Amino acid sequence: MSLKIVDRQSHATGHKRNPGFPLDLDWVERVRMNRSALERRAGTIGARRSVKKDHQLAWLLKAVSLMDLTTLNSDDTQGRVERLCAKARNPIRADLVEAMGVKKLGITPAAVCVYHNFVATAVKALEGTNIPVAAVSTAFPHGLTPLKIRLAEIEASVEDGAKEIDIVIERGMVLSGDWQGLYDQVRAMRAACGEAHIKTILGTGELATLTNVAKASLVCMLAGADFIKTSTGKEKTNATLPTSLAMVRMIRWFHEQTGIEIGYKPAGGISKAKDALTYMALMREELGRNWLEPHLFRFGASSLLTDIERQIKHGITGHYAADYRFAMA
């Protein structure tokens, strides 16, 4: 098997964290996105070439390493979170790992993502691994409690051991063009995170236009976001390829202007291995190989891993297995 794409050498070495920059409203107002052009480009992603056989298995293994293994349900329990963490320790069934000869790679998800209430549970369950815990804080999924409460929640999650914080912006600020207010809030949240990395959830399906999505992306990056993320997974419309293109191209523009690499996380609706490969192709084609590493690209997913395991099983044996043979939590 070709394992070049799976090689877990740390491409994060030398990566400079986004320090944040002053809000440049002139830059924000220059941002425009052409929806029809983005939709045409989206239709070409993954269509010009396909990944087959051993190469596909390698890309699927890479997808596992880019995944934030997530449970964000209203009926989550301590036991469910502990089972999810057990799955994170061994994300691919042992017989499949053995058949591919990749045990030495130690493939695990990029993080485990849970509600604030379960951060301490997840941290304890993942002791002895290098898997960080990410917390969805700031009144997820709506982000509409008073700012001081949201900041306190961030600080509490960090105190409990979260290494990454997924925050939710106020969509109304984007819709009303209150860029200064949005910048100030994200800046305050970044400060509350301290050493923990901050992913800003835009709720793109509720921002009306791709130009709004792009402007919000820029403002969050200027405010110090380490990642920009599409959705909470609770909106009617979550991650889409045109939306992703708008956000990824803002990441590229930001990098060209500042030299800072910002991460991207599509979330919501990515449940099939084929979709994961398409998003990986997007990142490779638009931003380059360096963005196919966990410090710059993540999937927000709860059911994606099951389909990836099914596809790996098919690639090895030529037969599909039922979902229940790849239990999550």
Q: How far apart are CA 69 and CA 12, in angstroms?
A: 20
Catalytic residue flag (residue 53): no
Class of residue 117 by CB neighbours under 10 A (exposed 0-12, middle 13-18, buried 19+): middle
Cα-Cα end-to-end distance for the chain: 30
Q: 């410090």: which residue's tokens?
A: 295
Cα–Cα distance for residue pair 53/121, rounded to 1 Å: 39
Nearest CA to 327 out of 56, 90, 64, 73 is that of 90
163 is catalytic: no
Query: From the candidates 166, 226, 275, 307, which is the catalytic residue?
Result: 166
Which amino acid, 296?
Answer: L
The question of whether 16 is a catalytic residue gets the answer: no
**83: DSSP letter:** H
Q: Which one is catalytic: 229, 275, 307, 313?
A: 229
| Residue given tokens 């990441």 in the structure block | 251
Residue linked to tokens 């017989």? 95
Catalytic residue among 265, 275, 307, 313: 265
Task: Report how far residue 253's alpha carbon sits from residue 55's, in angstroms, rounded to the nearest whole number.
Answer: 31
Q: Rounded to an integer, what distance in angstroms lies between the CA atom of residue 114 and that of residue 72?
A: 6
Active site residues: 166, 229, 265
